[in-house]
A and B are shown apart, each in its own frame.
Chain A
Amino acid sequence: MKVSFKLNGKNVVIDVNPNEVLLDTLRLKLGVKSVKRGCERGECGVCTVLMNGKPVYSCMVLTPQADGAEIETVEYLQGKEEVKALIDSFVKHGAIQCGYCTPGFIVTAYALIKAKQNGLTKEDVIKGLEGNLCRCTGYKKILEAVINALNQLET
């Protein structure tokens, strides 16, 4: 079946199977490799994308459900001021080891900044990121990186 959506600012029309998930369409058919394959059961967060501005797990969205939606990934978001600040801060704080979870964290953290532009507390950040798992860093550095990026954006 034909599905059309906006991917990273460009209109896409693509033929998909009804049982295809957005993760597979993005990675296998559209070459969007920042979106990682992880648990494939809506738990780990490495496949997080923005759908109409909201973070969702692309492994838990049937591609036909994305018909008419706007999908954004790191490939596109990296041009935004907030994401640049996040990336710099992740590097500066060593919030990356293997890097596999990083795009998902960046997408969720960006959405968090956009959703609550003023007055994000540390607790808000912890709560907002609870759907992204990292098996290397123990979260402390990621948390520091996001909070530091926030502070930088506010000043």
Chain B
Amino acid sequence: MLTKIPEFNFLKATSVDEALRLIATHSNYKLLAGGTDLLMDLRIGRYKPEVVIDISKVMELKYIKDLGDKIAIGSLTTLQEVLESPVVRGKAPVLVEAVSNMASWQIRNMATLGGNLCNASPAADTAPPLMVLNASLKLRSLSKGERVVNVNEFFLGPRQTVLEKGEMLTEVEIPYVKDAGQSYLKLGRRNAFTLSIVSVASLVKVEDGRFKEVRVALNSVAPTPVRARSVEQALIGKEVSYEAVVKASNEVIHDISPISDVRASAEYRRKVSIVLVRDSILKSLSGLGINVR
């Protein structure tokens, strides 16, 4: 149920250092990046912070840099900025595909890449593409300095991450992947402006007609976004064929544990996960010019 946004103290940080100092001194705080998730969570009473720390004006965390062998994206870069970036489109098309299907223009103008990750919704749409891209996350705190965590190890549960109190995400690093086909498929209750029932990202590399590398990740089918390791293992080293993809896709049920909710039943999610994994891998293959159907 919607209620009025409860009262809190509002503090504003204009630099990373200032933000780190503020989160080190308060215990019951929430960081406000774009606010598109936080404002709803405050309205439904999910969080009752004493302090909301506005970091939306921390300009030093708004950037997209091409570093030659990887892309570095500041955590406060908006989703619209990610979507419009030629660098991201060129090197990480699977992320652009995911972001273009997220929410609406108005939301993407506020919502940030870091916010989508740190909110840690099981339905976070930037997670599957970043997981197959093997992105690294830079986390910073006053007490521990900087540490780097792979995005595949970042999520612990619904709304839970490895982020500790006093720690914030500052950068997402996406390594270049050479000679890989990538694709993203999202199933929602309608085509536009919708939450995922299931979405799937995949990345494949093929050498001498065999799967050299396969990475598949899904959201909305487990407490966190997940990698489909069973599917990946069933394909690596195998000869590329339609039958192999179909057979391996069935394995996804071992990687997921969907629940029933307002968007879909668990049973439906299991069934469409298989189909979406299959289609995503086939689409990634066709990105490499391999059409096996």
Contact = CB atoms under 8 A, between A and B. Distances in A.
Interface of A: 1, 17-19, 21, 40-43, 45, 48, 51, 54-57, 59-62, 64-65, 67-68, 108, 111, 126-128, 130-132
A35 to B, nearest CB: 13
A108 B6 contact: no
A18 B52 contact: yes
Contacts, number: 85
B54 A130 contact: no
Interface string B1-33: 010111111101000000000000000000010
Contact of A130 (B6, B32, B57, B192): B192
Interface in B82-128: 103-107, 109-110
A86 B54 CA distance: 36
A108 B72 CA distance: 30
B263 to A, nearest CB: 15
B104 to A, nearest CB: 2
B193 A130 contact: yes
Given A18-B52, A19-B6, A131-B193, A57 B35 contact: no
Contacts of A18: 7-10, 52
B56 interface: yes
B39 interface: yes
B43 interface: yes
14 contacts: A19-B5, A19-B6, A41-B43, A42-B36, A56-B109, A56-B110, A60-B35, A60-B36, A60-B106, A61-B35, A62-B32, A64-B12, A65-B32, A65-B56
Given A18-B10, A19-B6, A61 B105 contact: no
A142 to B, nearest CB: 14
A42 B40 contact: yes
Nearest to B5: A19
Interface residues of B, number: 30
Given A54-B109, A131-B104, A42 B39 contact: yes
B2 A40 contact: yes
Contacts of B43: 40-41
A115 to B, nearest CB: 9
Nearest to A62: B35
Contacts of B39: 21, 42, 59-60, 62
B7 A55 contact: no
Contacts of A57: 106-107, 110
B104 A130 contact: yes
Nearest to A128: B105
Interface in B189-218: 192-193
Given A55-B106, A64-B54, 20 more contacts: A18-B52, A19-B7, A40-B2, A42-B106, A45-B106, A48-B106, A55-B105, A55-B109, A57-B107, A60-B36, A60-B39, A60-B106, A60-B107, A62-B32, A62-B35, A127-B192, A128-B105, A130-B104, A131-B104, A132-B104
Contacts of A127: 105, 192
Contacts of A55: 105-106, 109
A148 B8 CA distance: 47
Contacts of B35: 60-62, 65
B57 to A, nearest CB: 8
Contacts of A59: 39
A19 B43 CA distance: 10
A26 to B, nearest CB: 15
Contact of B110 (A21, A43, A61): A61
A48 B56 CA distance: 19
